[in-house]
Amino acid sequence: MSAQLQWFVEQWQSWIGAISWQIVIWIALISVVAWLARGASPRLRYLLWLLVLVKVFLPPSLALPWGVGTWGIDPVWKQLQERNLLLSNQEAVAPLATADDANQRANDSLQTSIVQSVSPLFLIWLAGCCGFWFMAVWQYTRLLRSTRDMELLEEGPLRIELERLALQLGEKRVPELYLSKTAASPYLFGILQPRIVIPQQLIDSVSASDQRSVLAHELVHWGRCDLWIGFLQAIAQGLLWFHPFMWWANARLRQERECACDECVLRTTDCDPSTYGETLLRVLSAVRGKALFQGNLVGVFEPGANIQQRMEEIMNYRPENSRVKLWWYAALAGLSLVFLPMASITSAINVPAQPAELPAWVEASSPSIGATGVDPQTAEIRITFDRDMEGGMSWTGDQPLFPEAPQGAKAQWRDKRTCVLPVKLKAGEYYRVGINSTSFQNFRSVAGEPAPCTAIYFTTKGASKSVESRVRVPHIAEMVPENGATDVDPDTKVLRVTFNVSMGKGMSWTGGGASFPESPEGQTAKWSADGKTCLLPVSLKPNHEYQLGINSRSHINFQSKWGVPVAPVVYSFETIGE
């Protein structure tokens, strides 16, 4: 997978995880406020539900100092984390990995770096989005084609009434008017080229005054830009097609849109509430209760609309209750400023100039790493970290390299940074003690971050020259292609790294992304028969810069057969053109 695609998937994972829980909290809050405002103007409730769309299109990482994410959600989340954090105070001693285990972990690490697959959840989400939007476009295209069989009304009583209503409502642009023999109910569609479609059966079944109310309703939808809102609803629903809260919120938005539109018709025309309500019932009866809805289509009746609620809103309409109150907008603005930013300001502020904090590290040890001639009477191995630690420990290794412990003696912490391991050493021996391992990582900072795997290795007084040679740090004797080469043949099939001593069977080829060379399918890195040369199968591209690592601060599987890790090396080269 390319670096650009990998970056996009990572961004998607961050977005989908945050928006999924944030939208639940936001819709729940809007529902409570809308219920409390059930006696207010439908316009207020409609504006409330519009804020759901605002939340969908805002980045979930939005944070403000006064936002609920900073003073509400973040402190609660941290408390939950502290309660659920398992403080491991066990004195775990794990066996040193065998050669096969180390080789398997190295190969797994290599495959993770080389073979990066797109998250299955991302593919499922993408398929759902494409499927939802395809159906919306397909239905809209069908609707658009159906206008070819409709009658365009450019004159006549209905067209004259439409233009008169447009003047009354202050609309300078009048949508085209179509008469359809197949339409289920009156509707308005077309963002750029608006069209009002009236069913023929409606014209034949209701009076001219009823037709006028229908036209007024559709013109109000046009003047309120409800088609654009419907278009945004379709986009938002496609992005969150899997989220039941989003489906419910969109249904509530459609319901409140119809109620707000009814109120606007009553406020801006001379329709009587009782007459207008009876008109809707007659229209509903004439079209047999059918409804039609798409992303940028709105009608007199939309799916999921609560007719009873609409009738109650219409019959209870009072002009004085529909007036816009300034404090409504002030309250909505305050609600948005406080509750829309749900990320914490402390986690949202990133300072690129400051690197991420490194994990805890052993800053001192006794005996020191690589020491020779250590007094065999030494009673303990002591390590000191660069920061306060959690209190757990993972001294790892296997005898005979791991020293014996005096009977009844146990490892313990002297203070928050220094831990000691009681030992019983012998003269003339080589010892190696691991600090954490792949499977055991109880040496953790107070922040819960495990310390990188490392090792303390030394020889005691009386060791022979051959035994003392075991503490020597292996180094790279040769690289093919050379490190820093700029003329590498892209047909090169293998990278070769040769060390000056025989090595263990583990390896840590580190790195990733576009600069990490791809590996041919079915081929993995391996060691030469003498254990000194590691071979990494590659598939190189011409005119390409490559960079990978031999070990890193946290991955040290390139070790001598005595467990002494290679110092991290950055390996880079460039290929020539074909």
What was the pLDDT predicted at 424? 93
Same domain, 327 and 218: no
What was the pLDDT predicted at 350? 44
Q: Per the domain annotation, does 109 fall within a domain?
A: no
pTM of the model: 0.57
Q: Per the domain annotation, does 92 fall within a domain?
A: no
Same domain, 343 and 381: no
Query: DSSP letters of 426-493?
Result: -TT-EEEEEES-SS----BBTTSPBPPPEEEEEEETT--HHHHGGGSPP-EEEEESPTT-S-B-TT--
What was the pLDDT predicted at 473? 92
Same domain, 282 and 212: yes
With residue 380 as reference, give the H or E element that holds it: strand 380-385
Q: Per the domain annotation, does 105 fall within a domain?
A: no
Same domain, 191 and 250: yes
What was the pLDDT predicted at 210? 85
Q: Per the domain annotation, does 121 fall within a domain?
A: no
Closest CA to 299 of 218, 223, 211, 224: 218
Q: Per the domain annotation, does 116 fall within a domain?
A: no
What was the pLDDT predicted at 296? 45
Listed residues 316, 342, 372: the one ending a domain: 316
Same domain, 217 and 286: yes
Domain around 505: 476-574
Listed residues 471, 504, 520: the one ending a domain: 471
Distance CA 43, CA 34 (A): 11
Mean pLDDT by 10 residues, the chain (578 residues): 65 88 94 90 91 93 86 76 41 35 40 47 92 90 86 90 90 90 83 88 84 89 90 93 94 90 86 84 67 46 65 81 76 91 64 57 91 94 93 89 91 93 94 88 89 92 93 93 93 94 91 89 91 94 93 86 91 89
Same domain, 304 and 322: no
Same domain, 463 and 366: yes
Same domain, 310 and 374: no
Distance CA 381, CA 27 (A): 58
What was the pLDDT predicted at 90? 33
What was the pLDDT predicted at 79? 67
Do the Cβ atoms of 158 and 211 come closer than 8 Å? yes
Closest CA to 304 of 295, 316, 293: 293
Query: DSSP letters of 147-197?
Result: GGGSEE--SSHHHHHHHHHHHHHT-SS--EEEEESS-SS-EEE-SSS-EEE
Q: Which residues contact 545 (CB under 8 A, 6 or more apart)?
A: 515, 572, 573, 574
**Count of domains in the chain?**
4
What was the pLDDT predicted at 115? 34
Do the Cβ atoms of 387 and 445 come closer than 8 Å? yes
What was the pLDDT predicted at 70? 83
What was the pLDDT predicted at 292? 44
What was the pLDDT predicted at 3? 53
What was the pLDDT predicted at 100? 37
State the amino acid at position 77 in one-letter form: W
Distance CA 313, CA 306 (A): 11
C-beta neighbour count of 532 within 10 angstroms? 17
Q: Which residues contact 87 (CB under 8 A, 6 or more apart)?
A: 390, 391, 392
Same domain, 235 and 284: yes
Q: Per the domain annotation, does 330 fall within a domain?
A: yes
What was the pLDDT predicted at 76? 78
Same domain, 466 and 333: no
What was the pLDDT predicted at 497? 95
Q: Per the domain annotation, does 94 fall within a domain?
A: no
Do the Cβ atoms of 477 and 485 come closer than 8 Å? no
**CATH classification at residue 253:** 3.30.2010.10
Same domain, 180 and 261: yes
Q: Per the domain annotation, does 101 fall within a domain?
A: no
State the amino acid at position 60 in one-letter form: P
Same domain, 452 and 521: no
**CATH classification at residue 492:** 2.60.40.1220
